[in-house]
Amino acid sequence: MAEAALECCAIGVGGEGGARFLNTDSVCQELGSEFLQQIAASDTGAYHIVIQDGAGFHLPEGHEWLPEKVRVLTLPPYSPELNPVERLWDIVKDRICNRVWSDLPTL
């Protein structure tokens, strides 16, 4: 059985906007750092502010692995109302959960 891939996702607001993704087989601070490096490289002249929940694999503000022009804001615990993407995940999960998909393009 294939392992489920995990995905990091960032959506740009303002500037040129856009989205950044990183698909991995697991999560850890090293991979979180890699994803933040990817965000920083998307516009090297800008400061990037990443809003995140308090998951243990997210890097806290001030961590030595944070790219120079990336700042993180961690949401308080148990505050899904402050994270607009939580509403999106509810909609997505309602449409895709408890189904078998033949392959990723079909999903």
**pLDDT at residue 17, as a whole number:** 64
DSSP code at position 58: S
DSSP code at position 73: E
pLDDT in tens, 5-50: 555 666 666 666 677 877 878 888 988 898 899 889 988 998 998 8
DSSP code at position 17: -
Domain boundaries, the chain: 6-77
**β-bridge pairing 48-52 and 70-74:** parallel
d(CA 4, CA 9): 16
Whether the pLDDT of residue 3 is over 60: the answer is: no
Give the three-state DSSP class for 7.
strand
- Global pTM value: 0.66
pLDDT in tens, 76-99: 988 878 877 777 878 888 888 888
